[in-house]
Amino acid sequence: MKKKLIAGNWKMNGGLAANDGLVRGLLAGLASAPSCDIAVAVPAPYLAQVQALTAGSPIALASQDVSAHASGAYTGESAAGMLKEFDVRYALVGHSERRQYHGESDAVVAEKARQALALGITPIVCVGETLQERESGHTEAVVKRQLAAVIHVNGHCISEIVVAYEPVWAIGTGRTASPEQAQQVHAVLRAQLAAASAHADRVRLLYGGSMNAANAAELLAQPDIDGGLVGGASLKPEDFLKIIAAAQ
C-alpha cells in the first residue's frame, strides 16, 4: 500500500524569520518516522534556507514551479537542473494560479512535467475546473483534457508523477468539494491513468481544494484520495500537523 503524501504549498508567503519558525514548529511536532510522506513547496528565494532547515528530516522540499526549458534566455525561470541542486524532490506544475495568471497551456504544463521527470524530480501535476465549468457539467472533460496532455508527452513514465485535483472554485475560497465530489473526480482520473499505464496504481492522487484540519480526515478516507495539496493551512504548524496526523 503506497504512503499518502501531504504537500504544503506556501504560495507567495514567507520570510526568513517566518520560515524558520514554521519549519521548526513542524519538525517539533512530527513523529520521528511519520507513516505518510511530507513536502513543502516554498518560494524560490527560500529554497536554500528551507533545504538547510529540513536536512535529514522527514520533510521533502518542493518547488512551486519549474521551467519548461533546460537552460537559456528565460529570465526569471528556474530550470529543473537548478532545482535539483537544492535537493528539490517535487515540483508543482500546472497550478491553477499559473494557468490563470500566467496563461500556461496544457502543452506547457506537460513539458514542465517532462523537464522535472528528466532530472528525477517528481512533478505534482495540478488539474481542476472552474465554477462555471462545473456548473456547465464539464468537470470530467476539463480534468481529463488537462491530464491527457501530460500523458501524451510523458507516457512511458506517467506512473512516476503525482496528480493533484484542485477544483479552482475551492482554492482559497473556504469552499471545499464534498468528499463524494472529490472522490468522483479522483476515480475518473484513476481510470484515465489505468488506461495509460500498467503501473497506474503507483500514482498518488491528491486533493487540493481548501483541505484543512477540520475536513482532512473525511477527504483522506476516500478510496482514491492518496493525500492533499494544502494551501493556507500549511502556513500554520498546528493545522498542518493535524492534516499529517489524519493521513497516518
Write out the three cell numbers for 53.
532547515
What sign results for the dihedral spanned by CA atoms 221, 225, 226, 227?
negative
E strand or H helix that includes residue 205: strand 204-207
State the DSSP code for 168.
Answer: G
- The predicted pLDDT at position 175 comes to 79
Q: Which of 95, 111, 129, 160 is catalytic?
A: 95
Pairing mode of beta strands 88-93, 59-63? parallel
Query: What's the rounded Cα separation, in Å, for the pair 20 and 162?
Result: 27
Residue 39: closest CA among 160, 151, 128, 162 = 162
- The predicted pLDDT at position 164 comes to 98
Query: What's the rounded Cα separation, in Å, for the pair 44 and 148?
Result: 28
pLDDT along the chain (248 residues), means of 10: 94 98 97 90 98 97 98 98 98 97 98 98 97 94 98 92 94 84 97 95 94 96 97 97 94
Query: What's the rounded Cα separation, in Å, for the pair 210 and 91?
Result: 20
- The predicted pLDDT at position 139 comes to 96
- The predicted pLDDT at position 172 comes to 75
Beta carbons within 10 angstroms of residue 32's beta carbon: 6
Give how far Cα 208 sits from Cα of 214, 219, 229, Å.
14, 10, 4
* Strand, helix or coil for residue 242: helix
| Cβ–Cβ under 8 Å, residues 165 and 208 | yes
Query: What's the rounded Cα separation, in Å, for the pair 212 and 223?
Result: 19
Respond yes or no: is residue 140 known to be catalytic.
Answer: no
Query: What's the rounded Cα separation, in Å, for the pair 76 and 67?
Result: 9
Respond yes or no: is residue 133 known to be catalytic.
Answer: no
Through-space distance between the first and last CA atoms of the chain, rounded to whole angstroms: 12
Q: CATH says 5-246 is which class?
A: alpha beta
- The predicted pLDDT at position 237 comes to 97
| Cβ–Cβ under 8 Å, residues 188 and 147 | no
Give how far Cα 79 sits from Cα of 10, 23, 88, 102, 224, Å.
20, 25, 11, 17, 32
Query: What's the rounded Cα separation, in Å, for the pair 9 and 7?
Result: 7
Q: Which of 160, 166, 180, 186 is catalytic?
A: 166
